[in-house]
């Protein structure tokens, strides 16, 4: 028992300089994957975010919700269609995407945060004209790209002690809705608010040169190397937008970006509040600083 108590005390001592370092600083967290599906993991993630808020950091949570969208489409008899990993989004699909992401998924996260004593507010890109968007391509329908982030509503909320929880819906010039990749939104928002950190949660430990070989894990790299890995195909599929988001954030002035395994208990706290850190850190290419 004594050794366990001493270990817990040591963890608290180790966290202190990081609490001081990030006091009052903004941390953007992209939340998704199995960390959103598994209820036990979800509760741990939400508690981690709440703890960051309670020690006077300013977390912003960005989320997607592909599995929830697929379930609702199945209920109404619609078959999802994907092109190059992107969901083809016609008008009917867009209605479901907005209903699920800005409604069910977003409010479920907000409710959980608030039930544990947090002060969370749910937003989509339409609220406060937060995310201005335009169509990515005719083939994909209402899939959008981020044109501009208006962070005023986020600063207003954080300045008054609230945790913004943002669904990945953007708004066009005429008020129309766009389905946007949540990873890209997280990167753009992190840049717009000049976040201290961007944390991308996924289902693997980070970047590997070969996903089948754990010995090829990369603990840190710069944006130049990250872009090369995308071009070579070593970074592929769902990892591409996560790495792209980190590059967007770093080029926009964010100080540090991290891709971590959100299915591991307290992965956010391990990244922010310990000497060890976890996952893959992507830094700005020193030659371009």
Tokens representing 77 are: 């008899």
Question: Across the chain, where does the E strand assignment appear?
Answer: 26-31, 58-63, 82-83, 86-87, 120-123, 131-135, 144-149, 163-167, 169-171, 177-179, 197-202, 207-208, 217-218, 220-222, 256-261, 280-283
Question: Of the listed 48, 68, 127, 183, which one is catalytic?
Answer: 183
Catalytic residue among 42, 197, 242, 284: 242
20 CB contacts (<8 Å, ≥6 apart)? Answer: none
Is residue 66 part of the annotated active site? The answer reads yes
Decide: 109 and 61 in contact? Cβ < 8 Å: yes
For the question of residue 262 being annotated catalytic, the response is: no
Unique residue bearing structure tokens 């070989």: 213
- Among candidate residues 64, 65, 66, 125, the one labeled active-site is 66
33 is catalytic: yes
Q: What are phi and psi of 63, to 5 degrees?
A: -135, 155
**Secondary structure element (H or E) that encloses residue 182, with its range:** helix 182-192
CA angle 156, 250, 122 (to 5 degrees): 30
Could you list the active site residues?
30, 33, 66, 183, 242
């Amino acid at each position: 028992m004594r050794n366990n108590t001493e270990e817990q005390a040591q963890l608290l001592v180790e966290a202190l300089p990081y609490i001081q370092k990030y006091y009052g600083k903004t941390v953007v967290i992209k939340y998704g994957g199995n960390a959103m599906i598994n209820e036990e993991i979800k509760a741990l993630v939400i508690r981690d975010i709440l703890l960051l808020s309670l020690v006077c950091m300013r977390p912003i949570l960005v989320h997607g919700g592909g599995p929830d969208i697929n379930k609702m489409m199945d209920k109404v008899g619609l078959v999802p269609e994907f092109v190059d990993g992107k969901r083809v989004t016609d008008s009917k699909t867009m209605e479901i995407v907005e209903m699920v992401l800005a409604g069910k998924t977003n409010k479920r996260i907000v409710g959980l945060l608030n039930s544990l004593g947090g002060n969370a507010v749910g937003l989509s890109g339409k609220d406060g004209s937060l995310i201005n968007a335009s169509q990515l391509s005719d083939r994909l329908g209402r899939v959008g790209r981020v044109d501009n982030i208006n962070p005023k509503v986020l600063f207003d909320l954080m300045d008054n002690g609230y945790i913004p929880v943002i669904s990945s819906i953007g708004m066009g010039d005429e008020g129309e809705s766009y389905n946007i990749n949540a990873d890209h939104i997280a990167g753009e928002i992190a840049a717009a608010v000049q976040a201290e950190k961007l944390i991308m949660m996924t289902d693997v430990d980070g970047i590997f040169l070969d996903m089948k070989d754990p010995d090829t894990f990369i603990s840190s790299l710069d944006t130049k190397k990250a872009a090369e890995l995308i071009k070579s195909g070593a970074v592929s599929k769902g990892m591409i937008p996560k790495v792209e988001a980190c590059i967007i954030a770093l080029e926009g002035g964010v100080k540090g970006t991290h891709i971590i395994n959100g299915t591991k208990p307290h992965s956010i706290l391990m990244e922010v509040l310990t000497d060890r850190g976890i996952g893959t850190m992507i830094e700005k290419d020193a030659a371009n600083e």
